[in-house]
């Protein structure tokens, strides 16, 4: 394995972070929407998804997304 380091500036790192967080939030929202339309989702996942979406909203806002 190479010992070289990849370095990126803070703005690029923040942008990558926001994009990933938004993608994950979108995925969780879709799962909840599908569940409301009848798709099965474990009851614990329903509650957890709702909590995680709220947390992601806070984090994304922190990064300016």
The pLDDT value recorded for residue 65 is 75
The pLDDT value recorded for residue 1 is 64
Nearest 5°: the CA angle 51, 33, 50 is 5
Q: What is the token pair recorded at 14?
A: 């923040």
Mean pLDDT by 10 residues, the chain (65 residues): 86 93 98 97 96 97 85
Q: Is 22 helix (H, G, I), strand (E, B) or coil?
A: helix
pTM: 0.84
């Amino acid at each position: 394995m190479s010992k070289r380091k990849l370095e990126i500036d803070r703005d690029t790192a923040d942008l990558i972070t926001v994009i990933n967080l938004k993608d994950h939030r979108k995925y969780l929202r879709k799962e909840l929407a599908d569940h409301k339309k009848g798709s099965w989702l474990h009851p614990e996942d329903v509650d957890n998804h709702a909590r995680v979406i709220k947390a992601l909203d806070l984090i994304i806002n922190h990064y300016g997304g």
